[in-house]
Amino acid sequence: MRRVVVLALGSFCCGSLWGQAGPYVRQEVDQAGSDRGKRVYTQFCINCHGALAKGTEQGPDLIRSPLVLRDRLGDQIGPALKKLANHKTDLTQAQVADLTHFLKDQIETTAKNRNPEHPPNVLTGNREAGRAYFNGAGKCNTCHSPSGDLAGVGRKYMPVDLQQRFLFPRRSKPIQVTVTPSGGQPVTGALERIDDFNVAVRDASGEYRTFTRTSALRVDINDPLAAHNQMLDVYTDQDMHNVVRYLESLK
C-alpha cells in the first residue's frame, strides 16, 4: 500500500536514460534519483541486502558486486533482476535506474568512509530541535519514551548504528493480525502469511489457523513498524540529523 505515490513519481523520470552511458563512462550519481531509489530499495531489497546494501544472511553484498559496479543506469541490474530467482521482475526502467543511482551513491559513500577510525559524523544535528520533533511532528512519543524503552539508547549504539536503528528498525515481534469472519469471533495473533487467497494466523495458544479470503472476511493488520517505513518518505535530512543527535543524548 505505502509508497505508491513515490513509486508513481519515480516513473516520470529517467526511463529514456537506460543504457545511454557507455560502459567506460562512470555513472554520475543523480541525487534525486538516488533518493527515489532508496525508497524502492527500502521497499523491495533491504530485507535481504541490508540497510547499507552490504548484504545479510539472506542476500549478498551489492556494494562489492562486480555486476553492480559495472552497471550503467540499469543495463546490468535490470536484466539481472529478471533472471535472478525470487526477485521482483516488474520494476519499471525508471525505478531500476533510480535503484542504480542509490547503489552507486552507497558505493561512493562507502568508499569515502573506508577509514574505520573516522566513521562518518552523523551528529551534526541540533538536539533540542530533535527533541521537539520527537514530541511533535515526528509523533515518536506516541510509541516511544526517552525514559522508557529508549532510555540509554545513546549508550547502547554507536551513532552510525543508532541512525540505522532509527531509520530501519529491526522487527523483534511478528506482525499482528485480527481476522474476523462474518458473524464469527475475531481471531488475533501473529501473521504467518497472507496472499490474495488465504491468510494464516498463529493465535495466542500457538494454534495455526488458515482462513480463505472473501469479501466477508475482515482482516486488520497491525504492523508496528509501518509508521517507521512511512516516515522515511517524510523526514527531511535535517529532521534525521536532529533526531539522531537527540537520541544520542539519551545516555
CB 26 to ligand HEC: min, Å: 18
Contact 30, 103 (CB under 8 A): no
Q: Which of 10, 19, 26, 42 is nearest to 225 (CA)?
A: 42
52 binds ligand HEC (CB under 6 A): no
> CB-wise, 169 or 184, nearer to ligand HEC?
169
Binding segment toward ligand HEC, per CB under 6 A, in 13-21, 61-69, 105-113, 214-222: 61-69
Provide the 3-class DSSP secondary structure of residue 104: helix
Give the whole-angstrom CA distance, residue 251 versus residue 107: 32
Of residues 7-46, those binding ligand HEC (CB under 6 A)? 44-45
Say how many C-beta atoms besides its own lie within 10 A of residue 237's C-beta. 10
**Rounded to whole angstroms, how far apart are CA atoms 43 and 48?**
11
For Cα atoms 192, 194, 198, give the angle at the middle one, nearest 5 degrees.
110
* Nearer Cβ to ligand HEC (54/228): 228
Among 9, 32, 84, 158, binds ligand HEC (CB under 6 A): 84
102: contact with ligand HEC by CB under 6 A: no
Q: Binding to ligand HEC by residue 134, rule CB under 6 A?
A: yes
Residues of span 190-219 touching ligand HEC by CB under 6 A:
none
* Nearest-approach distance from CB 209 to ligand HEC, in angstroms: 24
- Reference 166, options 251, 107, 229; nearest CA is 229
Q: How far is the CB of 84 from ligand HEC (least distance, A)?
A: 5
The rounded distance, in Å, linking the Cα atoms of 97 and 73 is 5
Q: Extract the C-alpha cell encoding 36.
A: 527515489
Cα–Cα nearest to 167, from 124, 104, 231: 231
Residues touching ligand HEC, count (CB under 6 A):
40
Contacts with ligand HEC by CB under 6 A lie at 44-45, 47-49, 58-60, 62, 65, 67-68, 77, 80, 84, 86-88, 99, 134, 138-140, 142-144, 153, 165-166, 169, 171-173, 224-225, 227-228, 231, 243, 247
